[in-house]
Amino acid sequence: MKPDEQLRRLARERMITSTPGQAWPNRLMSGTDPVVTLRPIRRSDARVWRAVRRRNQVWLSPWDATVPPGADARPTTFGTLVRRLAKAARRGTTYPFVIEVDGRFAGQVSINNIVRGSAQFASVGYWIDQEYAGRGVMPRAVAMAVDHCFFTAKLHRLEVCIRPENTNSLRVVEKLGIREIGYAPRFLHIDGEWRDHRIFAITREEAPRGLLARLEESGGDASAAR
C-alpha cells in the first residue's frame, strides 16, 4: 500500500499526522466523505491559490484582512508571502496550513500570533473556497488544527475573532462549542476599515479529548447536542 493510501485508511478512524509529535511542519488528515487534509502552504500552490482567490473575491472580501493606513504594505508576490510564512513557521510563531478536500486545494486555516512562555496562546484564522462551503469542512479543519495545537504543539489557549455580521463563521465556532469570551471594538482592519469583533476562545481543559472527538460525537454540531 502506498503511504498516501495508508494515511487515508487510518484517517477513517481518527485524525492522523504524517510526523507524530512534531508541531511543524506536519500533515494532518481526517474524515472519509470528504477526506480533509491540512498541510503546510508551499510556493507551488501559487497558481491554484491565485485562481481560487480570484474566483472567490466577492465571497471573501468582506472578511479579508486589509493593510491599515501607514502600516507596511503586504508582500507583492505569492512567493514572497510563502517565504515569509515559512520563516515565521520555523521561528514557531505561525502554522500556515492549506486545507485540501479529497486532495484538492480548498482554502486555508492558519494558527497565528503563537505566544509561548506563560501564555501558550495563539489565534486561528480561516477561509474556504465557496465551492466547498456548507459541507462542514471548516468545523472539521479548525477542530484538527486546534487539537494539533493542544496535543502536539502543547499550546493552552486558542482564540477565534469574528465580525458580528459573519453568520457563517459564527456557525463554525458554535458547531465546535467554542465559548464567547468578549467583544473588541475596532479590533482588526478588515475590508478597508477597523471592524468590531466578537471574541471566542477555548482552553485545553475545556476539551480534554479534543475538538474533533467532540464534533464527531455530536454529529457535526456540538451546539445542537447540548
Ligand X SMILES: CC(C)(COP(=O)(O)OP(=O)(O)OC[C@H]1O[C@@H](n2cnc3c(N)ncnc32)[C@H](O)[C@@H]1OP(=O)(O)O)[C@@H](O)C(=O)NCCC(=O)NCCS
Nearest approach in angstroms of CB 157 to ligand X is: 18
Strands 179-190 and 157-162: unpaired
Cα–Cα dist 179/173, whole Å: 8
Q: Is 18 in the site for ligand X (CB under 6 A)?
A: no
Q: CB neighbours (10 Å) of residue 68? A: 12
Q: Which residues contact 14 (CB under 8 A, 6 or more apart)?
A: 30, 212
State the binding string over 100-139 for ligand X (x if CB under 6 A, else -): --------------------------xxx-x--xxxxxxx
Nearest approach in angstroms of CB 117 to ligand X is: 26
Q: Which is nearer to ligand X, 23 or 202 (CB)?
A: 202
SS (H, E, C) 132-147: HCCCCHHHHHHHHHHH
Q: Which is nearer to ligand X, 93 or 166 (CB)?
A: 166
State the binding string over 54-73 for ligand X (x if CB under 6 A, else -): -----xx--x----------
C-alpha cell at 18: 504524517
Whether the bond between 3 and the residue before it is cis, its omega within 30 degrees of 0, is: no
Nearest approach in angstroms of CB 3 to ligand X is: 27
Q: Which is nearer to ligand X, 10 or 67 (CB)?
A: 67
Q: Which is nearer to ligand X, 59 or 187 (CB)?
A: 59
C-alpha cell at 131: 465551492
Stretch that binds ligand X, among 15-23, 90-98, 149-157, 162-170 (CB under 6 A): 162-170
C-alpha cell at 188: 482588526
Nearest approach in angstroms of CB 113 to ligand X is: 14
Phi and psi torsions of 44, nearest 5°: -75, -5
State the binding string over 169-198 for ligand X (x if CB under 6 A, else -): x-xx--x-----------------------
Number of residues that bind ligand X (CB under 6 A): 21
Nearest approach in angstroms of CB 142 to ligand X is: 8
- Whether the CB-CB separation of 222 and 202 falls below 8 Å is answered with no
**Amino acid letter, 37:** T
Phi and psi torsions of 84, nearest 5°: -65, -45
Residues at the interface with ligand X (CB under 6 A): 59-60, 63, 126-128, 130, 133-139, 162, 166, 168-169, 171-172, 175
